[in-house]
Amino acid sequence: MRTVNASNAVNIADLRRLARARLPRAVFDYIDGGADDEWTLRENSRVFDDVTFRPRNAIATPHCDLKTTVLGTTLELPFLLAPVGSTRLFYPQGEVVSARQAGEAGTCYILSTLSGCRLEDVKAATRGPAWYQLYIVGGRQVAEAGIARARDAGFSALVITIDTPVAGNRERDTRNGTKEIVSRKPLRMLPHLWQFVVRPRWVLGLLADGGVMTFPNVMIPGEGPMPYAEVGTQLQEAMVSWTDFDWIRRVWSGPIVVKGVLRAEDARRAIDAGASAIVVSNHGGRQLDGDPPTLRVLPEILEAVDGRIEVLVDGGIRRGADIVKAIALGARAVLVGRAYAYGLGAGGAAGVGRAIEILRADVIRTLTLLGCASISSLDASYVDAAFR
């Protein structure tokens, strides 16, 4: 039997298995896990089963057009790479590697504030558009410096994540000793180090990449890049509220995307706050367990927005058919997080490239089977939604 590697993985679940085999447990669980009982994490994917297809058969679609336009930019694919923090721990130069693959495929990469590569290097690595996702870690002054750098580097939109007033309760991280591991206190770290001993290839990669990353896009005055160990405490002080948007609009003149909308009222507030787009998102089930699966609240939000701004959605997408369902229900495009993060953890550029290719091929096949020639002609007539 052919050995499965990242380049010939058949589906995203294969990439997940390969990531689990390559990464130390604490790193894999950081990607894979969710908050508390992980109900929302599971529901995000399960809810796609509530939507079934209504194909138009015997219709020839010799060429399926996957192009879409998001914030005025044409993308070759209807999915963007979601902001995922700390990807430099998944693979050396993780953010640069992922951005490059997104650009090769003609789609947009969204860089998290909490990334391990300099935002300038990430932007330079991609031929495609890139957006910068903002957490106000380190306070407004630090954030303003990051925003100015993002503008100068050519990031074309600012994504404001509004669902993180505090980090979610990720019990896998607690059990794996993540806090202790990053504490840099040898006695606290010791009981948890076995996870790394059994993954020597990952450890060698990390060492060759400069050791445990810091946050070079969060430059603390007089100190330098924010150290990894401070991320938890800093996030608690980084809450965004609607009153921050006046300031954000003063320091960023480009389009603003509000990520983390789960109710009609917040969609309206985002519009009032000057957003050009929103992402219906529960942070991939990593924040408030019990949040609804995003696909289920999408229709309510689309109704409230009524075409005034663009509506994207993320959460639980593991197959191209999921992407098609979300767009048929009215989303402009979707974001994928874990689907590409597993690929990166499984095998760097080859893994991210494979994740994108799997989803792209899935979307084309699904559209062909639906008798629908393009992403732009998908509509609700192609699906039946019976949410439970």
Active-site residue set: 283
Q: Is 370 in the site for ligand FNR (CB under 6 A)?
A: no
Position among 133, 214, 234, 366 found at the interface with ligand FNR (CB under 6 A): 133
Secondary structure (DSSP) of 295-345? HHHHHHHHHHHTTSSEEEEESS--SHHHHHHHHHTT-S-EEESHHHHHHHH
Site string for ligand FNR, 40-59 (x = CB under 6 A): ----x---------------
Q: Is 320 in the site for ligand FNR (CB under 6 A)?
A: no
Rank residues 79 and 382 by Cβ distance to ligand FNR and give the closer one.
79
Q: Is 31 in the site for ligand FNR (CB under 6 A)?
A: yes
Rank residues 237 and 379 by Cβ distance to ligand FNR and give the closer one.
237
Position among 16, 170, 283, 319 found at the interface with ligand FNR (CB under 6 A): 283
Interface region with ligand FNR, contact rule CB under 6 A, candidates 4-12, 119-127, 313-321, 362-370: 313-321
Position among 314, 322, 328, 367 found at the interface with ligand FNR (CB under 6 A): 314
Position among 103, 168, 255, 316 found at the interface with ligand FNR (CB under 6 A): 316
| Residue among 143, 142, 283 at smallest CA distance from 220 | 142
| Residues near 269 by beta carbon (within 8 Å), at least 6 away in sequence | 242
CB of 57 to ligand FNR, least distance (A): 31
221: its two tokens? 């005055």
| Residues near 152 by beta carbon (within 8 Å), at least 6 away in sequence | none
Position among 123, 199, 296, 338 found at the interface with ligand FNR (CB under 6 A): 338
Question: Is-contact 319 11, C-beta < 8 A?
Answer: yes
Beta strands at 109-112 and 256-261: parallel, antiparallel or unpaired: unpaired
3-state secondary structure 128-152: CCEEEEECCCCCHHHHHHHHHHHHH
User: Can you tell me which residue has the tokens 């229709």?
Assistant: 299
Residues within window 155-214 making contact with ligand FNR, judged by CB under 6 A: 161
Tally the C-alpha atoms within 13 A of residue 212's C-alpha that lie toward its C-beta.
Answer: 11
Position among 317, 328, 346, 370 found at the interface with ligand FNR (CB under 6 A): 317
Whole-number CA gyration radius for the chain: 20
Q: Is 95 in the site for ligand FNR (CB under 6 A)?
A: no
Interface region with ligand FNR, contact rule CB under 6 A, candidates 51-59, 78-86, 243-251, 323-331: 78-86
Helix (H, G, I), strand (E, B) or coil at 292: coil
Residues that bind ligand FNR (CB under 6 A): 30-31, 44, 82-85, 112, 114, 133, 161, 259, 281, 283-284, 286, 314-317, 335-339, 341
